């Protein structure tokens, strides 16, 4: 009976943690704030001394929202050696837990170098939605065996919530950017229509032609026109 009560207590604690995470991440206003909430909350609920996200965008991996500078330093080591939990989590689509980096055979160059800088254990989770990998959530501890099986299991659920929140924030960012682009192009068309007494289609064709000749994106041409030739300028 005692084991059952203990199990219920652990389940309730996990449910409460995930509820807190879901509410905290949903409340963040943009991608950067969401990422900062993810790493801050990861340390609070899963343990370790620091956390960061290896963000995958345009085939490049960058370290974002680190809770401590050691995260950036350790991630640079992974990129230098081309090995480590973060990189392998993204490439192999698995969770990686290292209990003693100094003696870790999977990463013979990175492990000892990280341990020498004070990071002895790590947890790395792939952040993904459907078939899209967003990056990896990484936790760092200064002691060996800094993360146990329970932290690894709960971290998987946390990473799932974090990935959904991050994907939602990125979608909203892209939508806002698309709306802003449309508005700028519309304003630029209006300027051309007024100055040249032409229709909307002709104005848009002028923008496209200028974009092609200048080898600049349509949005950049429209922005320049609005900034330099709007009424009153």
Q: Domain ranges for the chain, please list them.
A: 2-168, 176-229
Which pLDDT band holds residue 5 (cuts at 50, 70, 90)? very low
Do residues 123 and 49 touch, judged by C-beta distance below 8 A?
no
Q: Residue 189 is encoded by which pair of tokens?
A: 């068309």
Indicate the range of 65-79, 114-128, 164-178, 201-215 predicted with least confidence: 164-178
Residue 4 has pLDDT above 50, yes or no: no
Convert the pLDDT of each residue in 36-86 to its tens digit.
Answer: 888 988 898 899 999 999 999 888 999 999 999 999 999 999 999 999 999
CATH code that applies to domain 2-168: 3.30.450.40
The separation between CA 121 and the C-alpha centre of its own chain, rounded to angstroms, equals 22
Do residues 65 and 38 touch, judged by C-beta distance below 8 A?
yes
Q: Find the mean pLDDT for residues 168-196.
A: 79
Beta strands in 91-131 (DSSP E): 96-98, 121-129
Percent above pLDDT 70 for the chain = 84
Q: Find the mean pLDDT for residues 144-152.
A: 93
Better-scored residue on pLDDT, 145 or 191: 145
What's the pLDDT score for residue 138? 97
Report the topology of domain 176-229: Arc Repressor Mutant, subunit A (1.10.10)
What's the pLDDT score for residue 70? 97
Residue among 61, 58, 55 at smallest CA distance from 39: 55
What's the pLDDT score for residue 3? 39
Which pLDDT band holds residue 6 (cuts at 50, 70, 90)? very low
Better-scored residue on pLDDT, 104 or 189: 104
């Amino acid at each position: 009976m005692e084991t059952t009560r203990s199990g219920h207590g652990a389940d309730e604690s996990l449910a409460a943690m995930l509820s807190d995470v879901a509410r905290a991440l949903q409340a963040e206003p943009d991608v950067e704030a969401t990422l900062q909430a993810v790493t801050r909350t990861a340390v609070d609920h899963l343990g370790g001394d620091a956390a960061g996200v290896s963000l995958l965008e345009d085939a490049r991996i960058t370290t974002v929202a680190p809770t401590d500078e050691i995260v950036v330093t350790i991630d640079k080591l992974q990129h230098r050696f081309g090995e480590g939990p973060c990189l392998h989590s993204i490439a192999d689509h698995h969770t990686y837990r290292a209990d003693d980096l100094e003696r870790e055979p999977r990463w013979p160059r990175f492990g000892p170098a990280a341990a020498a800088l004070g990071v002895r254990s790590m947890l790395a989770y792939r952040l993904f939605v459907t078939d899209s990998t967003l990056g990896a959530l990484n936790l760092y501890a200064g002691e060996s065996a800094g993360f146990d099986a329970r932290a690894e299991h709960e971290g998987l659920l946390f990473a799932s919530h974090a990935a959904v929140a991050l994907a939602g924030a990125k979608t909203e960012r892209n939508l806002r950017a698309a709306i802003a682009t449309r508005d700028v192009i519309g304003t630029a068309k209006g300027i051309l229509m007024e100055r040249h007494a032409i229709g909307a289609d002709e104005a848009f064709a002028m923008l496209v032609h200028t974009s092609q000749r200048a080898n600049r994106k349509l949005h950049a041409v429209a922005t320049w026109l609005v900034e330099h030739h709007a009424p009153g300028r």
